[in-house]
Amino acid sequence: MPQSTDLLQGTLDLLILQTLALEPMHGWGVAQRIQQLSQDVLQIGQGSLYPALYRLEYKGWIRSEWQITENNRRAKYYRLTQTGKKQLATELASWDRLSLAIASVLGRATEASS
């Protein structure tokens, strides 16, 4: 198991929004998806996932509703709202700027795009 990396402050929100941008999902699904997509490098503390979901919901960026899963189980699904989409776009843009800046500080600007 590769060493997991601590999430940068604030990036958890970005990851959640990005994950939910693909399709509505429940909390467990979000955790799994982030882990899968990052090839197990990013392992989010599942305990801190829920406060983040709640925070995003209170901000109005995502919305939740109870649905039935494929195994006939009741679960709370989160979906991105209109404001959430806009927020994702701005956060992505600022993330790009940040990573580019960090890369150039580290002298690896050429590889930054990879």
Partner 1 sequence: MTSELLTRLRFLISSKRRSELDEEIEFHLEQAITTRIAAGMDPAEARRQALIEFGGIESARGQCEQQRPGWWIGTVMQDVHYAFRGFGRNPLFTFSVLITLALGIGATTAVFSVVDRILFRPLPYADPGRIVSLGFVHSLERQEFVMGRFYVEWEKDQTPFSALAAQSTMVHNCDLVENDPEQLGCISFQASFLPLFGISPALGRNFLPEEDRPNEPPVVMISYGLWKGHYNGDPHILDRMINVDGNPARIVGVLPKDFQFPTLEAADIVTPFVLDATIQQKVNGGFGDPERVFARLRSGVSLEQAYAQMQPLFNGDLKWFPPFAKNETHLSIRTLRDREMQEARPVAWILFGFVLAVLLIACANVAGLMMARGAGRQRELAVRSAIGASRGRLIRQALTEALVLSFAGGLAGLAIAQALVMVFVRLAPTGIPFVGKAHLDLRIAVFAALVSCLCGVIFGLAAALQKPGLAALNARASMSRNHAFLRRSLVTAQIAISIILLSGAALLLRSFTKIEEQNLGLQTAGVLTVKVALPWWRYNTNQKVMDFYLRLESSLRRLPGTRAVGMTDSIPPGGWESDFRYSDLAVQGKPRGVPGIGGTVVGRSVTPDYFRALNILIVRGRNFTDEDRTGDENEVILSRLLAERLFPGEEPIGKRFLPDSVRGRGAIVVGLADNVKNSGLTEPNDPEMYTLRRSVSGDWDGNHLMVIVDSAMLVAAIEPWVRSEVASIDRTVPIEMEPLNQSLNRLADRPRFETTLLGFFALTGLLLAVVGLYGLVAFMTTQRAQEIGVRMALGATRANILHLIAKDGLRIVLVGLGVGLGTAVAVSRMLKTLLFQVTTYDPLTYIAVPLLLSLVALVAILIPARAGTRVEPAITLRAE
Q: Which residues bind partner 1 (CB under 8 A)?
A: 26-28, 31, 45-48, 50-51, 54-55, 58-60, 73-76, 82-83
Closest CB to partner 1 among residues 14, 103: 14
Closest CB to partner 1 among residues 50, 93: 50
Q: Largest alpha-carbon pair distance within the chain?
A: 52
Q: C-beta of 113: minimal distance to partner 1 in Å?
A: 34
Q: C-beta of 22: minimal distance to partner 1 in Å?
A: 19
- In the sheet with 25-26, reading across from the earlier edge strand, the strands are 25-26, 74-80, 62-68
Q: What is the DSSP letter of 91?
A: H
Closest CB to partner 1 among residues 18, 25: 25
Tell me the CA distances in angstroms from 107 to 9, 82, 98, 99, 114, one per residue in order. 23, 38, 14, 12, 14
